[in-house]
Amino acid sequence: MTKKKTSLVVSADLSDLFSDASAEITVPERKINTDTYPIEKALKTIIRQLEAIGLRERTISDYKHHVSHFAEITGIEALEDITADHIYDWLASMNVSNQTKLTRLKCLKAFLGRCFDNGWIASKFWAQIRIKVDSPVKPGATERDIMLLLSLLDLSDFVQLRDATAVLLLYQTGIRISTLAQLESHHVDLETNTLRVDGGLLKNHEQIHLPFDDKLSRLLEALMRQNRIVRRENGAKNDFIFITRYGEKVTSSQSHNNIQKRLNKYSKEYGIKNLNPHALRRGFARRLLDKNANIALISKALGHSDIDVTSRYLHLDKEEVMNSLRQYL
């Protein structure tokens, strides 16, 4: 049996924590083909382009079906004859849900976009055509689910300690997973239980200070102590708070994050649905709202550019809005 590395066995006793219970660019002038370009010919050419780059058969089939249907309904034969009104007429002819219309519109827009790129259309006149679709309310992570997960993790194991710390930090501060991966020890103030994030790590480039509780403070302290052992054993030179068992950064690209993959694993293993970074961030916002924090404060904490973004982010249910408004009558 292979002996477990010393660095991966956490020395701190954390067993009691959860026992009760995320230069200026010049655009070159485009050369436009002013000759008549039939929709049918354009579709065949674009289909060949899609096949050449290996797009899946279903996507290619959608192009064929929806573009042909548009031409059939509107009676338009040449690309240069298409107007926004023709697209609206095409949409109005469908006896389907707005969600289905939106899907078909996206396909037509993609086709027209490729025609534009090929120089067959002079402007993107279709860009402002919109279809309003009610977005389903996306539930955030709940405190009960967070505490359940943390009670199931083995905090004496380095990787599980790291994951537990990440989950609680995401839930208590609402930071993005991309920000979490870049945090270093100097961002954490254990004396005041404050996460001090400089603007360089945030999407809106504004510095923010976020408080956290004593449980998270203990986890962070234990994790940072263990990190030093992991880095020493592996000869790693960094000061990131969240590292792999080999002392490396948890992200190797925008699409690869060790912690995010582990959250997916825990979600399936323990049957906890809302355990992804976005759900943890929504859970943070929802918790603030439930404690009567105003939307301006929540917006600031989330680092949103404006309150409208926060309003959409919270996805308030219609019935919930009605019941909340009723108290002001």
Query: Which has the higher per-residue pLDDT, 53 or 256?
Result: 53
CATH number of the domain that residue 46 is part of:
1.10.150
Provide the 3-class DSSP secondary structure of residue 10. Answer: coil
User: Hey, what are 45's tokens?
Assistant: 């050419």
Same domain, 170 and 205: yes
Same domain, 174 and 91: no
pLDDT of residue 99: 86
Q: Is the pLDDT of residue 304 over 60?
A: yes
pTM over 0.85: no
Provide the 3-class DSSP secondary structure of residue 184. Answer: strand
Same domain, 187 and 309: yes
Same domain, 150 and 290: yes
User: What is the 3-state secondary structure of 122-148?
Assistant: CCCCCCCCCCCCCCCCCCCCCHHHHHH
pLDDT digits (tens, 9 = 90+) for 177-234: 989 999 999 999 999 999 998 877 776 677 889 999 999 999 999 999 999 999 999 9
Total of domains in the chain: 2
| Averaged pLDDT of the chain | 86
Helix (H) or strand (E) holding 322: helix 318-326
CA gap 193, 107 in Å, rounded: 49
Same domain, 220 and 292: yes
pLDDT of residue 30: 46
Look at residue 8 and tell me if it is in a domain: no
Helices and strands: H and E segment counts in the chain:
13, 5
E strand residue ranges, the chain: 188-189, 194-197, 208-211, 251-253, 256-257
CA gap 302, 170 in Å, rounded: 11
Same domain, 318 and 216: yes
Contact (Cβ atoms closer than 8 angstroms) between residue 223 and residue 239: no
Length of the chain in terms of residues written: 329
Provide the 3-class DSSP secondary structure of residue 303. Answer: coil
Same domain, 100 and 147: no
Range of the domain at 316: 141-323
